[in-house]
Structure 1
Amino acid sequence: MPPPPQFTARSIPCPFKGCNRLFKNESGLTQHKNSSHRPFAPPPVARATSPGSESGRSMQGGGDVEHPHSPPPPSVRPTEYHPQLNGRPCDKTGKFLPKGAPPPPPDHPAPDDFAPYADRSDFDLADLLYRRVQMSAAHIDELMENWASRPNAANPPFANHADLYATIDATEIGHVPWESFNVSYNGERTPGDETPWKSEEFTIHFRDPRKILQLQLANPDFKFEMDFAPKRDIIVQDPATHGSTFVPVILGSDKTTVSVGTGQNEYYPLYMSNGLVYNNVRRAHRNAVTLIGFLAIPKTDRENQDSTEFRTFRRNLFHGSLRHILQSLLPGMTTPEVVKFADGHYRKAIYGLGPYIADYPEQVLLACIVQGWCARCDASNKNLDGEGGRRSQELNDALFDALDHKALWDQYGIIPDVIPFTYGFPRADIHSLLSPDLLHQIIKGTFKDHLVTWVGEYLEIIHGKKGAARIMADIDRRIAAVPPFPGLRRFPQGRGFKQWTGDDSKALMKVYLPAIEGYVPPQMVRTFSAFLEFCYLVRRNILNEESLQEVDAALARFHRERVIFEQEGVVLSGFSLPRQHSMVHYRYLTQQFGAPNGLCSSITESKHIKAVKEPWRRSSKFNALGQMLTVNDRIDKLAASRVDFVERGMIPGPTGRPPPSDQEQGDDDGGPSERRDILGEVVLARRHIPNYPRRPAELGKLLDAPDLPNMVRRFLYCQNHDTDIPANDIPIDDCPHFVGKIKVFPSALATFYAPSDQSGIGGMYRERIRAVRSWRGGPPRRDCVFVEHDTTQAGFRGLHAARVIAFLSVAAGGSTYPCALVTWFSPIGDAPCPDVGMWMVEPDLDREGKRETSLIHLDAILRAAHLVPIYGDHPVPRHFKHTRSLDLFAAFYINKYADHHSHEIAF
């Protein structure tokens, strides 16, 4: 082979329905008396698997079940660690410390030293103006001038924008300077060859990855979010590595467009993370993913852009650039170096190339293979469902010696003119390092580009273009009729839009399956059901052996059911589709790298916004890249300063409270929560709704709940008595008279452990559950919820579905009880629908045909539930309002695809 080219759970009391063992304890908190119900307790910090490489492998393990209806936090550490690569603390010289020895005292400045800022207020203002508000230089100048012009006002903290920028630039912590190098073609050129790209120089900008990695490892923000040892590793063959911490270096690259039609609009960022931090940290974008470079995008005229010579140069430029950028890590890949870690200890670190985050076109480029082949195995591009052996650099070397250029290309899909950048790095094989890509392989690829497209093609085959258009219009109306749900994107016009994003595909996945039922064969519905099961399983934050068996079963069902598309003439050439084929590798890749959601390209695509698109918008658009580098440098310095000030106790860290923008009657639906002191809770909004009746009889008339006075009395009886009698059977004469007042609240805020969703760094998520008579000036909005029923049953078997009519607080006997007035739904059958795979429910009706109503304690609510209508055989009326779906449809699916937490508790 030629040498590489050279370049210059929470615990919840049961509700009234089915269980009434509620009592008030001495502290005034309402808890369940049954000893199997544990009170709220601080959760262990979420531990997602630390992805390893071929030489640093780790598999996610699940923790003890905390609650059958809430996914438990995983174990604090994997159950087994490597006996030699165990991350033993040492001193600065590399001498190992005794077991249990504390870290050395931090070498901090004085506790009031905010340098280079005068004080905390100056830092907060700089952070507000530059990072959070992104105020322009002209507006900063105007603000400071206004400040200085006020009578008797103190001098402004910064003279102008230049002074503000200079102060940020003076920050030493978190600073790694940008460097660059130029690359040009160094191959043979015939006399008179004036090909433009051969005489052009291409500039690559980068930051030293070794220094960036050391900043990441020492970031005290991650001191509880790191693993220091893999389960196994081949580098232990060298005794000098014993006691070290193996640090997998995670890379990711992907072109991104920042504008259309304004000159240079593409950039090629390169990102780096490390395999010691947990997946939830990487997904939360808390400085665990760092921009380390901008790769060159060579372009030429139309005459040369498709030439073999230019494509070969472009590939070699890419791999040569990566090889050069990563050179500073090479010594530490064989000889451990002493590094300070987030917990304050020094450890010997040995580096290695770990997973590479990339979409399929990028994987093709990285693996040096032909488009249409698999980058991980050599299954034929004409039959990707067939068996294929695992690719490796060792195998490639043997093939290079045995076969010519054409045979390598045609028989193995290998491009022989390029050497992957991993050559020359120990224990690194690009074919083994390519990570699973949920976004492009599964969500945008298999779901949107394949399955959804095939449904449209099937309808055209069966019904013709005109008939298919009529059915697709009704499918769009079904999608538009889905009831609202916290955080769920609505499709008011169905799916009829041209520009798809990853978020669009994720949102459509949540509501698409019920919408096509009845218009496609049951086997096609089962194909979608099996695929969605696979998708939601592999996107979990916690995967153990049982989970992987469920993944295997879902994939087998998908392969068995998808043949319907062949039988109906939709797919004519088989399923040789690289992105669908990638699904067969997910079990192995999970065992290699841990849960795939910590290595998805959605992480780097999200990073594009902060690292590329926003800095570009802040630039003058002329020679923008240099300005973008400066913006990234300053933002990193501000972030590093904040972490340092929090660690030194000079400013508070996350409080766990909702952000200031959280307005109870506003549009906030919730989002990631930084709380770590609970496993879950549901609390009323901070402010009640004024001008509502305070007496039960008057309020009952307003809410169409005439029995509300008796409900309140029975509710209060249950709060003060240990009884197994159903609430409705308690004689009203035994219940206390209520002489207090009731307040009505517009919403409740549920906070719960949901690490697979867009949670905070501790795996917590919060959502707003609403119950108002008028939402945004229109019809009522009354959300549905999961209510605890039987904690001995897993999944939906242990839950009830209910709809909240109103959130209330009842003040009586010196105590205030938060509660909810709800109507109920009961399951249809004792198992989910065999085709759709979701539980079916229908409203509970009394003898008069009205929906049954109860008053339950707020602690009985687990979280919001999403119900999707079972549409039946009748088209949805053209002007049907989604706000009426929960009132007018006769039966519903419990939508376990509303989010990942819903899938886990209703699986």
Structure 2
Amino acid sequence: MALISFDLGLKCDANRSFIDQDAPPLPHTDAPPTDWTPYNDRAAFETVEFVFTRNQMSAKQIDTLLDLWVTTLIKHNDAPPFANHKDMYATIDATPLGDTPWKSFTMCYNGVRPEQDIPPWMDGKYDVWYRDPLQMVRSMLANSELDGGIEFSPYRDYTTENKRYWKNFMSADWAWNQVDVIAQNEENHGSTFVPLIIGSDKTVVSVATGQTEYHPLYLSIGNIHNSIRRCSTRARARLIFTEFPIHIQCPNFRRQLFQHSLAKIFESVKPFMETFDVTHFPDGHFQQTVYGLGPYIADYPEQLILSGVVQNWCPRCLANRKDLDSDQPCLHRHEAHTELLIEQLTHKQAWDEYGIIANVVPFTNDFPRADIHELLSPDILHQIIKGTFKDHLVDWVGDYLQVTHGARHAAEIMDDIDHRIAAVAPFAGLRRFPDRHGFRQWTGDDSKALMKIYLAAIEGHVPQDVVCTFSAFLEFCYIVRCEALTEDDLVQLQDALNRFHKYWEVFKATGVVSTFSLPRQHSLCHYILLIRLFGAPNGLCSLITDRFNALGQMLLTNQCLDKLAAACADFEARGMLHGSCLSNTLGELRRRQNVHEDNDSELDDDAMADMVQEGHSRRLHVYKPQNQSVERLPVSQVFLGKVAVFNSAAASFHAPSDLSGTGGMRRKHIQATPSWCGGEPRRDCIFVNMGADFDSPMGGLAVAWVLCFFSFNYQTLYYPCAIVHWYAYVLEGRDPDTGMYVVTPTTTGDGVPDISIIHIDCIFRAAHLIPVYGPDFIPKISPHDSYDMFNLYYINKYADHHAFEIV
């Protein structure tokens, strides 16, 4: 509910005058639904979209494909929609939408120079490529794909118990506070506030001229729902690409290059940060729009550059760099306070006592209502996943083993940990570690994958407090990634952080570390405040940013991708992409042949598939609504009919905390195949909804191992079924150290495995189990044998975020 006393987000016309708020929008376009300009038809557009966007074919491969296509059409005196790759590229370039051109400007050093031996970098010229952010935001706001997924004003959400919860960016306090300031100018009443979310992710590339530092910049807006921002490339845009050689030996000059670049690029938006712009919105209406610099997503080194803070200090608060792990509250940094300190102190005092680089001016100082210390947002990827987990905790386990057991025995234990990790059963979306988990070059995906299975692998080889440290940390990490966070969740988040800080003392007690004064770990202390300010971090972190691969041709490629995405949105808005291309073509042929009546001429995809190909699907697709349970299928007589066997099923469920569709729906395949990828068998585990009366620690969910999927028809009914081996819970609650439930395969009274046939409608989703290894070493085990080799298993609640929420 909104408590603001003035109107927000009112519709207006192109001349800034407010209109009837119930008036329908103007037509999206005057173009008819048959106009595919500049493409000949739908087949030509979808060919380009598939080849250039989804498959990313090279020019040579495009030519090969078109040549093969010609050979199939030449006997019909016909030709494909494009002659060659040049023809295709020219058509993309002719697309009138999404055409925000790349521009560039050059910067150079103009400071004091030595009298002789002038460093080459002082004479260098540094190019900054960018696209106008004002034009990019206007294009984003006009995108009809975002209609229904965008907020026009800040709001506050409450649970049925009247407790506050935070989800999308506009549900949090920062946007609310900004609007209060903007509304002090009465001329802005009725306007829509659009915060610009900025993110950068520095990377270093080796090129012919040496090491080069690239700073790609990304832009989104805070009004877009988190779920859309995570899954839609149209909800974020590539904005800037700076290229700085690493051999620039003056760190201050590199900082200033970056700051001045940002300040210059956002000049076009600045005039509309205090007075309004008139902008076309996704619903087809115009609105008066006031912009503002919003959260900035960056890794710790870039946060230091942006804030002008010294290495090892916190860019958000004034905690001393030597005591970042202190449990005492600390004042937050503020632009006005920083400027006062710079005025009153020498540069050395500011550096030593407050971690301030006095001669760096943050670019935000040039813009209204913008304070870089406040705008630095959570960075789940670098602060939690790659920083705290990989760079700290995983390394500390190796150090602990060496300190405690010596190098030789520590290496043996590490080998066993690797065997345990490699033995984990396959699971959809789970990265495999068939050899070792110690890589020379770690990626964020490697770290995220290891987090899902690492806790069970080290348990038994490390002290209980180390296990509890990891358990508390993983709780914190997975709570943070939830789609929405309530006041109770924030209490749990603080509790997990407190337990993490309590148990991590084991690493200090065993001599592994001497201090926990680490900026990335310290940043976890700010997450609760940042959630209150900016909403749930899963829609506002560097996990949503992309990476560039090169510069010149790459920028043109990205511009082509933007054109195709804009064209796709336009065609979709005009209703031209409903159904598949083939189904529409077949429907048109049927209309011409007068086979069906006019209202029944268009085939859906399932009918098209039946007509185009014969045979039955190898997969049994299941839609499983949440909270629906089905009794076990009774078998009262012998069935002598035909049985169809399937190798997999697909369960669909609502999982908005994971990367999913814009509606939060996610699909997980459950395998039960005698040969996975031509090799060993793979049979997955599942959660089975047994109903509210089932006595289970997980509230009606049982766990089973799928041995086979099959179906049959009996009388007039169709029965899709699964043969499953049941598991039983070992404890009444979770294991106190790992926080996971423990199950065991069940048997009947005479020791026979407890196997049943169930209807697939009672399958909720796939489950992942990890063996309870204990303290003993294990031999090398194939992951396909994991569910056959052990007596106890953890239900892996870290397999994905939906599993964490239900387990």
TM range (shorter): 0.7 to 0.9
Aligned to 1:369: 309
1:243 aligns with 2:169: no
- Give runs of aligned pairs for residues 663-812 of structure 1, distance below 5 A: 687-688=617-618, 735=636, 738-791=639-692, 796-812=698-714
Label 1:182 to 1:654 Cα distance change in 2 as closer, same or farther (>3 A). Answer: farther
Gaps of 5+ in 1: 1-78, 617-624, 658-674, 676-684, 691-722
Alignment of 1:546-565 (within 5 A): 546-565=488-507
| 2:424–2:786 CA contact under 8 A, matched in 1 | yes
Q: What is the 5 A alignment of 1:400-799?
A: 400-572=342-514, 574-604=515-545, 607-608=546-547, 612-613=548-549, 616=550, 625-652=551-578, 687-688=617-618, 735=636, 738-791=639-692, 796-799=698-701
Determine helix, strand or coil for the equivalent of 1:287: helix
Match of 2:112 in 1: 188
Unaligned runs of 5+ in 2: 156-175, 584-604, 606-614, 621-628
What is the rounded CA distance, in whole Å, between the counterparts of 1:183 and 1:741 in structure 2?
Answer: 75
Question: Does the 8 Å contact 1:81/1:230 carry over to 2?
Answer: no
Q: Residue 296 of structure 1: SS of its match in structure 2?
A: strand
- Give the length in aligned residue pairs: 740
Q: 1:400 Cα shift? A: 1.4
| 8 Å Cα contact 1:739-1:812 kept in structure 2 | no
- Partner residue in 2 for 1:223: 147
- On the 8 A contact 1:81/1:229 being kept in 2, the answer is no
Partner residue, 1:817: 719
Q: Is the 8 A contact 1:85 1:229 kept in 2?
A: no
Distance in 2 between the 1:511 and 1:249 partners? 37
Secondary structure at the aligned position of 1:856 is classed as: strand
Who is 1:710 aligned against?
none
CA drift at 1:143: 5.3
Matched, 1:287 2:234: yes
Is the Cα contact below 8 Å between 2:227 and 2:662 reproduced in 1? yes
Give the Å deviation of 1:823. 1.2
Distance 1:778 1:740, change over 3 A: same
C-alpha displacement of 1:147? 5.9
Q: Which residue of 2 aligns with 1:108?
A: 30
Q: Match of 1:395?
A: 337
Correspondent of 2:57 among 111, 114, 135:
135
Do structure 1's residue 272 and structure 2's residue 219 form an aligned pair? yes
CA-CA distance at 1:653 after TM superposition:
7.0
The amino acid across from 2:25 in the alignment is P
How far the C-alpha of 1:475 sits from its partner, in A, is 1.0
- CA distance in 1: counterparts of 2:714 and 2:553, whole angstroms: 63
The one-letter amino acid paired with 1:505 is: S
Aligned equivalents of 2:493, 2:6: Cα separation in 1: 33
Say which SS state the counterpart of residue 268 (structure 1) adopts.
strand
Q: Distance in 2 between matches of 1:521 and 1:148?
A: 67
* Change beyond 3 A, Cα 1:264–1:524: closer
Cα pair distance change 1:795/1:592, threshold 3 Å: farther
Q: Which has the higher helix share?
A: 2
Corresponding residue number in structure 1 for 2:597: none
TM-score (norm 1): 0.78
- 2:273 pairs, out of 333, 340, 343, with 333
Displacement of 1:206 in angstroms is 0.9
Contact 1:218 1:340 in 2 (8 A): yes
Change (3 A) 1:741 1:213: same
Structure 2 contact 49–564 (Cα < 8 Å) conserved:
yes
Distance 2:188 2:619 in 1: 64
Tell me if the contact between 1:336 and 1:349 (Cα under 8 Å) persists in the aligned partners. yes
CA distance in 2 between counterparts of 1:343 and 1:795 reads 46
Partner residue, 2:169: none
Distance 1:215 1:367 in 2: 30
| Residue 576 to residue 804, structure 1, CA distance change in 2 (3 Å) | same
Deviations along 1:790-834, one digit per CA (max 9) or x if unpaired, are 448997232111111111213112110112111111111211010
Q: Distance in 2 between matches of 1:439 and 1:274?
A: 20
Cα separation, 2, equivalents of 1:156 and 1:869: 55
Query: Partners in 2 of 1:338 and 1:437 — Cα distance?
Result: 33
- The Cα shift of 1:406 comes to 0.6
Whether contact under 8 Å (1:524, 1:564) holds in the other structure is: yes
- Tell me if the contact between 2:212 and 2:245 (Cα under 8 Å) persists in the aligned partners: no
The TM-score, its normalising length taken from structure 2, stands at: 0.88
Letter in 2 for 1:320: H
Once the 2 structures are TM-superposed, how far is the Cα of residue 505 of structure 1 from its aligned partner? 0.7
Q: Larger RCO: Structure 1 or Structure 2 (Cα < 8 Å, ≥ 6 residues apart)?
A: 1
- The answer as to whether partners of 2:192 and 2:289 remain within 8 angstroms in 1 is yes
Q: Secondary structure at the match of 2:284?
A: coil
The DSSP-based 3-state class of the residue aligned with 1:520 is: coil
1:85–1:236: 8 Å Cα contact kept in structure 2?
no
Return the alpha-carbon distance in structure 2 between the equivalents of residues 198 and 873 of structure 1.
60
Amino acid at match of 1:106: H
Q: Which of the residues 786, 792, 798 maps onto 1:885?
A: 786
Q: Deviations over 1:24-75 (max 9, x none)?
A: xxxxxxxxxxxxxxxxxxxxxxxxxxxxxxxxxxxxxxxxxxxxxxxxxxxx
- 1:258 deviates by 5.3
Q: Does the CA-based 8 Å contact 1:82-1:229 persist in structure 2?
A: no
Percent of residue pairs identical: 49
TM-aligned CA distance change 1:520 to 1:654, over 3 Å: farther
Give the structure 1 partner of residue 19 of structure 2: 97
Separation (CA, whole Å) in 1 of partners of 2:208 and 2:688? 53
Moved more, 162-171 or 408-417: 162-171
Q: In the aligned structure 2, how far is the partner of 1:226 from the partner of 1:686?
A: 42
Q: Secondary structure at the match of 2:183?
A: helix
For residues 475-496 of structure 1, the C-alpha deviation after alignment (integer angstroms, 9 at most, x for no partner) is: 1111111111111112112413
DSSP 3-state at the match of 1:884: helix
* Alignment counterpart, residue 315 of structure 1, candidates 255, 269, 279: 255
Deviations 1:527-549 (A, max 9, x none): 11000000000011111211111
1:750 alignment partner AA = A
User: What is the one-letter code of the residue matched to 2:562?
Assistant: D
**More displaced, 549-558 or 117-126?**
117-126
Q: Which moved more, 1:632-641 or 1:191-200?
A: 191-200
Amino acid in the other structure paired with 2:154: P
Amino acid corresponding to residue 239 of structure 2 in structure 1: I
Deviation of 1:114 (Å): 1.2
Q: What corresponds to 1:702 in structure 2?
A: none
SS at match of 1:422: helix
- Alpha-carbon separation, structure 2, partners of 1:411 and 1:134: 52
Q: How much does 1:119 deviate?
A: 1.9
**Does structure 1 retain, via aligned residues, the 8 Å contact 2:212–2:244?**
no
Deviation, structure 1 residue 188: 3.1
CA shift digits 1:76-120 (9 cap, x unpaired): xxx436443521222222222333222223233122111122222
Shift of 1:204: 0.8
In structure 1, distance between residues paired with 2:113 and 2:92 = 48
Q: Is the 8 A contact 2:196 2:292 kept in 1?
A: yes
The whole-number CA distance in structure 2 between the counterparts of 1:486 and 1:686 is: 24
Deviation at 1:126, TM superposition (A): 2.6
Query: Structure 1 residues 781, 193: closer, same or farther in 2, change over 3 A?
Result: closer
C-alpha separation between the residues in 2 aligned to 1:790 and 1:564?
43
Partner SS, residue 366 of structure 2:
coil
Q: 1:539 to 1:347 in 2, by over 3 A?
A: same
Of 360, 380, 383, which residue of structure 1 is paired with 2:300?
360
For residues 502 and 194 of structure 1, the distance between their equivalents in structure 2, rounded to whole angstroms, comes to 40
Secondary structure of the corresponding residue to residue 708 of structure 2: strand
Mapped to 2, the partners of 1:514 and 1:166 lie a distance apart of 55
